[in-house]
């Protein structure tokens, strides 16, 4: 039986059980979901570097020695015809190595983490956010940087490109009536009239910390992420 690399993707338009849970979603071009093997750990030949509509990074179609094909995350230095090597454990990598796809992290376009130290069965890695975190030394990682590092510099040329992505128009809260948004109401271009910006449901919109204070993984964070 041949393993399918793509499968139909049902459009949910930002809804869960029929209720809108994410605003401004709907429509968009029909897409197929590419099944990515994030734990791929074999020697294989790169057949193609492809665009993936479901993620910011590019993906690589690879084929192992037995002829089985899979999709993996593409790195910046991957080229068609090259051979990829198996992933390595963190303890087998040199200190200062650039890595990605480690412990379920560092998988978006242009992302790269740095291995800083190995001590007492744990590796210290510096994440793209600036956070320094402990990860078990036997975790597997890819060497290099995730592809498509120019992703955040690309600009959409027209409104239709947002609609193709399933993103619908957004209206400013200050342009609404007072009953529709905390920022609404007033004459002309009025200020929001509040001490802090709020969401449509009255919750703090900017600067509010949302991470749980007693989150179990907090013990693995050596240095928190950079403040913006």
Other C-beta atoms closer than 10 Å to the C-beta of 216 total: 7
- CATH number of the domain where residue 103 is located: 2.30.30.30
Task: Please report whether residue 219 resides in a domain.
Answer: yes
Instruction: Kindly provide the residue ranges of all beta strands, DSSP E only, lying in the chain, ordered along the sequence.
Output: 6-8, 15-16, 19-20, 32-34, 44-50, 59-64, 69-73, 83-84, 88-89, 98-100, 113-119, 122-126, 132-136, 140-143, 221-223
Whether residue 141 is found in the same domain as residue 218: yes
End-to-end Cα spacing for the chain? 50
Q: Tell me if 88 sits within 8 A of 141, measured CB to CB.
A: yes
Whether residue 110 is found in the same domain as residue 218: yes
Whether residue 126 is found in the same domain as residue 219: yes
Task: Please report whether residue 123 resides in a domain.
Answer: yes
Q: Strands 59-64 and 44-50, how do they pair?
A: antiparallel
Last residue of a domain, one of 58, 85, 112: 85
Cα separation, 55 vs 51, in Å, equals 9
Give me 95's structure tokens.
């200190």
Whether residue 70 is found in the same domain as residue 94: no
Largest CA distance in the chain: 70
Whether residue 113 is found in the same domain as residue 132: yes
In the chain, how many domains are there?
Answer: 2
pLDDT in tens, the chain (228 residues): 346 898 988 888 989 999 999 999 999 899 999 999 999 888 999 999 999 999 999 999 999 888 899 999 999 999 998 999 889 999 999 999 999 999 999 999 999 999 999 998 899 999 999 999 999 999 999 999 999 999 999 999 999 999 999 999 999 999 999 999 999 999 989 999 899 999 999 999 988 888 888 899 888 998 888 765
Q: Strands 69-73 and 113-119, how do they pair?
A: unpaired
Cα separation, 209 vs 227, in Å, equals 11
Whether residue 107 is found in the same domain as residue 219: yes
What is the value of pTM for the model shown? 0.83
Whether residue 107 is found in the same domain as residue 56: no
Give me 92's structure tokens.
């087998």
Residue-number span of the structural domain to which 143 is assigned: 88-148+214-223
């Amino acid at each position: 039986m041949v393993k399918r690399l793509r499968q139909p993707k049902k459009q949910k338009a930002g809804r869960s059980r029929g209720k809108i849970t994410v605003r401004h979603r709907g429509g968009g071009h029909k897409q197929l979901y590419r099944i990515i093997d994030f734990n791929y750990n074999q020697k294989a030949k790169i057949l193609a570097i492809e665009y993936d509509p479901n993620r910011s990074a590019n993906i690589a179609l690879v084929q192992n020695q037995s002829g089985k094909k899979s999709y993996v995350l593409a790195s910046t230095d991957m080229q068609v015809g090259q051979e990829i090597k198996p992933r390595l454990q963190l303890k087998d990598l040199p200190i200062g190595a650039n890595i990605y796809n480690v412990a379920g992290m560092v998988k978006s376009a242009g992302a790269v983490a740095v291995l800083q130290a190995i001590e007492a069965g744990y590796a210290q890695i510096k994440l793209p956010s600036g956070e320094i975190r402990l990860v078990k030394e036997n975790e597997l990682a890819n060497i290099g940087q995730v592809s498509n590092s120019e992703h955040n510099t690309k600009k959409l040329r027209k409104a239709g490109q947002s609609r193709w992505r399933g993103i619908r128009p957004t209206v400013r809260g200050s342009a609404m009536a007072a009953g529709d948004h905390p920022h609404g109401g007033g004459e002309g271009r009025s200020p929001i009239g509040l001490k802090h910006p709020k969401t449509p449901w009255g919750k703090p919109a900017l600067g509010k910390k949302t991470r749980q204070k007693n989150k179990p993984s907090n013990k693995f964070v050596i240095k928190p992420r950079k403040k913006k």
